[in-house]
A and B are shown apart, each in its own frame.
Chain A
């Protein structure tokens, strides 16, 4: 075969006209208050902050910045609701409230998807097909547990903890709210939820849904603002439980701050997931799985498969196909229904990604970046793959939380496991092999809370999710997810 005379069939030559979703569906208000005791209220200091569309840097709305006093008010409302209403509401009643909420999320799905994409920058296809349906599914699933706690494996009549303080990140704003609220309410707790500063809007629409569902006032309270709000919640003496999803650094601080209190704690933190590819992997689906693993949600995924460990015998072929596929990703307007990769959520996150990738280059890794055009305004980063990465490189050790994949190689299953486990994190890993026996052998040895075989980034309300080591502790989802909100 003459390698010198190669012809090329161009992929994507049938150009797709823009297919934008309508932003008008969002019905956004110009400003949003705090949701305390069943109503929207101004912050006590009347402070506000702006939430942006990261794809355009345009202002979407102003949102109340809660003070310590506001957090206190929210916790008091949650305590009151717990004492007077929720703790005496039967499981069957709680179940029906949660079913109502699930249905309302389904009914307002399109609006929620649009708002999520505007506020977060993720492609509308993902918010429409993944975030919002999964959020509804979580409420459905835990609705079914509320009247069946006796059968959940925690003994007869397991009791709730009381008031739960819940702090969620910006990468899956509504979905993370659902992951936190649904099991907490099913178990009989009341909640104070603190959304991320850059993505508060869908949680506030969820508050409207709670009103429509006639959830008793105070059962869920939502306080928006910067990190000081989360800190006030963590420090509040009348909070019985803290559930946090976010970075390992902040998780460490929270654990220190509650160390001497009676507060229960669950943490879902960072990761540096290894996606392990054996030579017998189903190649086309494996390439898709690697792509999903790292470019889903712009790589803003704590369980992202950000390290690709590929068996040396197929490394060149895998890399060639992978890069062809990366080049095909449609990067741009998140509201376009055909967009695969959207905007980076914030200027700060973009700076972090840029810093780590330039370190990757200076450390000697071989960089490949998609030639896609990027919009002029907004926060953007082209999908990037680093080859020739070694275990000691910072891009192989630190969580980048962006669309950046580091590729390493291995020779034997033992070496793959050793490299995969050579990290302080332990959230998720992937294994690709047609040989079930080997996939299970590897899975058994990986120190990670979730292991996907021949797939990646799958989520389901029935399946527990969470990490080991510095990726945190506690599980969300499934029967196990109830444990985080029960006194067991």
Chain B
């Protein structure tokens, strides 16, 4: 029983390879979209969780740890999404974002501040033209329960007020009930309303529940034009987990290999310690590699994480554990 010879593997195959000229397939019908998503390989939950757990045992020490901490700081979307948010609160958040540790100029600025749309203008007035981007959660965040017109208006106003990035939520109800075309069309429409602003699509994986759903929703969002796919709003009990991040990273990897289009990943919700952050960086390092080890393609949506990163950074330099009050509580 002879079989066709297997293709010999070349040097180039060792990393994640993608065509330099990107080409994302045009989605023309819900049937086509459904077929495309159905053709994706399933995810075995036991295996995915085992892989994530194994990577969590990586021991990151010394210079790697310092480099990882600084990289993580530069990837933070410093977030405040509370009903009690005020211009004052957002102002101090912006100051913290620009200079996380005012005593140490070698600490990088964070990637962005992430606020509700009505506070974008104030954030812009504080940040001016600084490198820290302004991200706004729009589209009736966090539930996404509003008409498309309301969602699009939400997006346009945020962009007009100076948002560089829009974090939208998908319609989980539509996704779970199989109205994939509706979810897709909404992403396309929001993308259009974003103009030059980058679009992060929040899948709310805690409500999608299965890894198969996470993989399919990731592809759906990428096909719809997402610049980033994001795990969670942080407003439901289950937020980012390492297996979910793994499945999303596999999705952006495979999408890049098949289309040449590199989509970023943002993990959000419940990431509070440097140890957590470094675990995610290990996942990135060993799943998608160098092209994603940058704030342009990987972000942490977090608030208290930043201070822990600063504490661990100082601890690495001082050789002793430091007290939390070394840093501002913003």
Q: Which A residues are within 8 Å of any B CB, using their own CB?
A: 1-3, 5-19, 125, 129, 280-286, 288-289, 312, 315-316, 319-320, 323-324, 327-328, 337-338, 366, 368, 371, 387-388, 390-391, 407-411, 415, 419, 434, 454-455
Q: Are A455 and B21 in contact (CB under 8 A)?
A: no
List residues of chain A with CB within 8 A of the CB of B285: 11-14
Interface size on B, residues (CB 8 A): 57
Considering only CB atoms, which chain A residue lies closest to B287 in the complex? A11
Is B315 at the interface (CB under 8 A from chain A)? no
C-alpha gap A388/B61 in the complex (Å): 41
Q: Which B residues are within 8 Å of any A CB, using their own CB?
A: 1-9, 12-21, 23, 41-44, 46-48, 50-51, 57-65, 67-68, 71, 247, 250, 256, 260, 262, 281-282, 285-293
| 19 A-B interface contacts by CB (under 8 A) | A1-B23, A2-B20, A7-B18, A7-B19, A8-B16, A10-B289, A11-B288, A11-B290, A14-B71, A282-B41, A286-B47, A315-B6, A316-B7, A319-B9, A387-B8, A409-B3, A409-B6, A419-B1, A454-B47
Q: Are A13 and B9 in contact (CB under 8 A)?
A: no
Q: A8-B16, A14-B67, A315-B6 are in contact. Are A281 and B61 (CB under 8 A)?
A: no
Considering only CB atoms, which chain A residue lies closest to B292 in the complex? A9
Q: Are B47 and A289 in contact (CB under 8 A)?
A: yes
List residues of chain A with CB within 8 A of the CB of B57: 125, 129, 337
List residues of chain B with CB within 8 A of the CB of A320: 7, 9, 13
List residues of chain A with CB within 8 A of the CB of B287: 11
A316 → chain B closest CB, angstroms: 5
List residues of chain B with CB within 8 A of the CB of A388: 5-6
List residues of chain B with CB within 8 A of the CB of A319: 6-7, 9
Q: A319-B6, A319-B9 are in contact. Are A9 and B42 (CB under 8 A)?
A: no
**A9-B292, A11-B14, A288-B51 provided; 13 other pairs, C-beta below 8 A?**
A5-B19, A11-B286, A11-B289, A14-B285, A282-B43, A284-B247, A285-B48, A288-B50, A319-B6, A320-B7, A337-B57, A408-B3, A434-B42
Q: A2-B21, A11-B286, A125-B57 are in contact. Are A281 and B64 (CB under 8 A)?
A: no
List residues of chain A with CB within 8 A of the CB of B290: 9-11, 13
List residues of chain B with CB within 8 A of the CB of A10: 15, 289-290
List residues of chain A with CB within 8 A of the CB of B13: 320, 323-324
List residues of chain B with CB within 8 A of the CB of A129: 57
Q: A13-B285, A16-B60 are in contact. Are A8 and B15 (CB under 8 A)?
A: yes
Considering only CB atoms, which chain A residue lies closest to B247 in the complex? A284
C-alpha gap A10/B294 in the complex (Å): 13
List residues of chain A with CB within 8 A of the CB of B41: 280-284
Considering only CB atoms, which chain B residue lies closest to A367 in the complex? B8
Closest 8 CB pairs of A and B: A285-B47, A9-B291, A19-B59, A13-B290, A337-B59, A282-B44, A285-B44, A11-B289
List residues of chain A with CB within 8 A of the CB of B6: 315-316, 319, 366, 387-388, 407, 409
Contact of A284 among B1, B7, B61, B250 (CB under 8 A): B250
List residues of chain A with CB within 8 A of the CB of B16: 8-9, 11, 324
> Interface centre among B7, B19, B59, B282, by most A CB within 10 Å?
B59
Q: A8-B17, A288-B51, A454-B46 are in contact. Are A17 and B8 (CB under 8 A)?
A: no
A-B contacts, CB under 8 A, total: 170
Considering only CB atoms, which chain A residue lies closest to B253 in the complex? A9
List residues of chain B with CB within 8 A of the CB of A337: 57-59
List residues of chain B with CB within 8 A of the CB of A316: 6-7
Considering only CB atoms, which chain B residue lies closest to A336 in the complex? B59
A297 → chain B closest CB, angstroms: 14
A422 → chain B closest CB, angstroms: 10
Considering only CB atoms, which chain B residue lies closest to A8 in the complex? B15
List residues of chain A with CB within 8 A of the CB of B15: 8-11, 324
C-alpha gap A411/B62 in the complex (Å): 50
B319 → chain A closest CB, angstroms: 16
List residues of chain B with CB within 8 A of the CB of A323: 9, 13-14
Contact of A415 among B1, B47, B68, B291 (CB under 8 A): B1
B131 → chain A closest CB, angstroms: 23
C-alpha gap A282/B247 in the complex (Å): 12
A272 → chain B closest CB, angstroms: 18
List residues of chain B with CB within 8 A of the CB of A2: 19-21
C-alpha gap A337/B61 in the complex (Å): 11
C-alpha gap A477/B21 in the complex (Å): 55
Q: Are A6 and B3 in contact (CB under 8 A)?
A: no
List residues of chain B with CB within 8 A of the CB of A281: 41
Q: A16-B64, A285-B51, A288-B50 are in contact. Are A6 and B17 (CB under 8 A)?
A: yes
Considering only CB atoms, which chain B residue lies closest to A456 in the complex? B47
List residues of chain A with CB within 8 A of the CB of B21: 1-2, 5
C-alpha gap A11/B16 in the complex (Å): 7
Contact of B43 among A11, A18, A280, A285 (CB under 8 A): A285
List residues of chain B with CB within 8 A of the CB of A371: 14
List residues of chain A with CB within 8 A of the CB of B250: 284
Q: Are A288 and B47 in contact (CB under 8 A)?
A: yes
C-alpha gap A281/B293 in the complex (Å): 29
B251 → chain A closest CB, angstroms: 10
